[in-house]
Amino acid sequence: MTLTESQIGALLLPYLEGVWTPLDLYAQLSAYLDLLLRWNARTNLTAIRDPEEIVRRHFGESLFAGIHIAPLLAPSATLLDFGSGAGFPGLPIQLLLPKLHVTLAESQGKKASFLREAVRTLNLKTEVWAKRVEEMPTERRFDCVTLRAVDNMAAALEAVPARIVRSGMLAVLGGEALFPGGAQVQTIPVPGSHSTFLYLTEQQ
């Protein structure tokens, strides 16, 4: 089952209603969806198989995060997607905010290969870091770090502060997230879900 650009747009309306989007966003998401479905048939990139659910859960939630972090970042800011998996939320955020400098960190080889192919197919400047985030050079710092469905969220949250510049931001998509150090966290409900939230916190 494939989805047209208009069908994708209709599914994403609750996440993007009233927000300006790039003219080619739905065409890019359509190409991304087709590639994801082809790869997912032979490589386990996501447990969600239904195209409409992929658009809502993966694309919609990622774009929802993007529209909330956009006003808090400079257009050409740097963003690290920690444990990117099949590219969520980093790749949809890159499509929504094309001037952003996004790095997708994914240490699993097959998923990293998919990310490289997605970046090539979508003609993006996005970097793929195919190793553990902890192996990045110590001088690498980012204005924003995003996390979604990371295997060990607690350990990831403890590792994140070393990757964010002063006054940088952390954005987490998921259920309950436990932030170290008593951080001040803004909690935003994600449309269409009673258990998924966007958590935003600034590094002081």
| pLDDT tens-digit map of 153-166 | 777 777 787 788 87
Does residue 79 lie in a domain region? yes
Say if 47 falls within a structural domain: no
Owning domain of residue 168: 63-202
Per-range mean pLDDT, top range of 42-51, 99-108, 152-161: 99-108
Give me the pLDDT at residue 156, please.
Answer: 78
Residue 186 included in any domain: yes
Mean pLDDT of 115-139: 95
Note whether residue 43 is domain-resident. Answer: no
Give domain status of residue 21, yes or no.
no
pLDDT confidence band for 2 (50 / 70 / 90): confident
Whether pLDDT at 22 is above 80? yes
What are the pLDDT digits (tens) for 68-77? Answer: 999 999 999 9
pLDDT at 64: 96
* Beta strand segments in the chain, E: 78-82, 101-105, 127-129, 142-148, 164-174, 185-189, 197-202
In a domain, 125, yes or no: yes
> Residue 143 falls within a domain, yes or no?
yes
Distances in Å between the Cα of 144 and the Cα atoms of 53, 79, 165, 170, 177 are 27, 5, 8, 6, 17
Is residue 142, in this structure, part of any structural domain at all? yes
Q: Is the pTM of this model over 0.85?
A: yes
Across the range 64-91, mean pLDDT stands at: 95
State the total domains in the chain.
Answer: 1
CATH number of the domain within which 109 lies: 3.40.50.150
Which stretch of 65-79, 111-125, 170-184 has the lowest confidence by average pLDDT? 170-184
